[in-house]
Every structure is written in C-alpha cells, then in structure tokens.
Copies of this chain bind each other. A is one copy, B any other.
Amino acid sequence: MRLGTVRRNGTTQAFRQENGATTFLPAKDVGELLLREDWRTLAGEAGQEPAAADLDTPILRPGKILCAGLNYYAHAEEVGQDVPKHPTIFTKMHNALVGPSDDVQMPEASRKIDWEAELTIVIGKTIRKVDEAAAKDAILGYTVMNDVSVRDWQGRTSEWFQGKNWDRMTPVGPVVVTADEIDPEDGLAVECELDGVVKQSGTTSDLIFSCAKLVSYISEFMTLEPGDIIATGTPAGVGLARKPREWIPVGAELVTRIEGIGELRNKCVAEPAAG
C-alpha cells in the first residue's frame, strides 16, 4: 500500500494506492490520515493516479523530523569518523520540507550545498522504551528524503542544526510505502544523481544501526508518535568527502531514488530575494 498527499482543488488531500487503484481520502495529508484508526480501510473517492508534479510532501507538518547521522559504514569512513557506538540524532523543522517535485531553494548566504539521499522511516504507533521487535512493528512504512545540507553553516558549531534547516531545502516523498511491501534489511538501493550523474549508490544493507535499532534507541528517551519521521542517514558519495569537494550548483536537477519507493526530482533554484 502507498500513501501520499496531492495538491488538488486549491488544497491538499491524502490518497491511498492499492492493487493499482487510487482512492482520495477525507484528510488534508498523510499526517492527518494517520491520526485515524481506520486509515487502511477508510472510504474515499476513486480517481486517477496523481501526476508526480502535483504531489506534496506526504506529511506536511510531522510532529517530529528526526535524522540519524553517520549511519553507513562507507560514509562514516569517507568523512573520517570511526564506526560510532551510538546513533547520532539531530532534527529538522517543518519549514525545511518541500514536495517530491518542488524546487529546492538555494540560499544566497552559502554555495556549499551538499546532497544526502536517505531512507526515511514513518512511525505508525505511539511507543516508548520498546525493544527492536516492537520498534519494527511500530514502523508504518518508508519514504525518501534528501537531507540537503549547508556545509559551512553545519560546521560553524558542534551542533549541525543550522546547516540542516534552511527553508524549503529538504525534499521528502514521493509517497509512503507500507512496511509489509518493503524491508530495508533486504537491501534497498539508495541513489542520488546530480544533473544525470550518479553521486551516491548505496544499499540499506550497509546501515550501521538498522531501522528497528534506531527506533528502539530513540524510544529509550522519547515517545514516538504516528506521523513522526526518522531519516536514517546517507550512504557514501557526498560532495563534502570528494576530492576536490563538490557542491550543488544553482540550476541543477537533483534526483533521489530508493528501490521500492520511488524518486524525488527537484530543481535547485536561487531563493527569492525577499527570503
């Protein structure tokens, strides 16, 4: 099953896809849909599959947007870090999100903008202090994020937040695929292309901390709730680690693709002068 959010009739609306059929549902986005117990069976209006260009990010305003850092062996190595003992967790805020075909806004204040393709967990249950089996059971599904990063601001202080939270710079989507259809432990291909050139080509088999482990770890200290999302880190191949370093040029097309889910396809454009 796939869940998404489409821009339609001047507003947004959640939809569900199963066995090739699309049903538009009475919820403004997947976030609102998941607050209902009956989201799998809720009646709606049958329709055509939405065009990619009409999709919004599935959850417009997640309760939490958590991100794991340094979670692929080859990526930790390329940035000169030891294999970590504990997951590194940081956050994004809703203002950073854009849809799967939207423009990514490139700031005037930096040109050191980097790509980070990431498998992203969507939480389906309220949990606290759960083991890995219960954590896996609380994963509703998966989507795709590109954790586009402003590297000079990220490195200004120990805390990466200010390099990760520029307005409208983080595409997430195109849809949420439920966990009964794909399993990252089977090894899903994670790819990032910049203007048609493959920059990252990894597999979720190389995650240091599995999705279940990440969810269990976070649940040790905080309650996770339906609609919370957790980006699981990026594989090797980021611009920061290349010699020479590479950054996203204004005007580039950034494609982020995960096997079994779909792709983000975003043009990277200069942000409006007025901010």
Contacts and interface: CB of A to CB of B under 8 A. Distances in A.
Interface of A: 63-64, 69, 84-91, 93-96, 107, 109, 128-129, 150, 153, 156-162, 165-167, 218, 220-223, 275
Contact of A223 (B85, B95, B218, B221): B95
B167 A221 contact: yes
A91 B89 contact: no
A150 B220 CA distance: 13
A91 B67 CA distance: 12
A91 B159 CA distance: 10
Contacts of A161: 89-91
Copies of this chain assembled into the complex: 2
Contacts of A94: 63
A222 B91 contact: no
Contacts of A107: 221
Nearest to A93: B64
Interface centre among A95, A109, A160, by most chain B C-beta atoms within 10 angstroms, is A95
Nearest to A150: B221
Nearest to A110: B221
Contacts of A153: 221
Given A88-B158, A159-B159, 13 more contacts: A63-B94, A85-B156, A86-B156, A87-B157, A89-B157, A90-B159, A91-B93, A91-B161, A93-B222, A95-B223, A128-B167, A158-B160, A166-B221
Contacts of A87: 157, 162
Given A94-B63, A221-B150, A223-B95, A86 B157 contact: yes
23 contacts: A63-B93, A64-B93, A69-B157, A84-B157, A85-B156, A86-B157, A87-B162, A88-B157, A88-B159, A89-B157, A89-B161, A89-B162, A91-B91, A91-B161, A107-B221, A128-B275, A153-B221, A158-B160, A159-B159, A162-B221, A165-B221, A165-B222, A167-B222
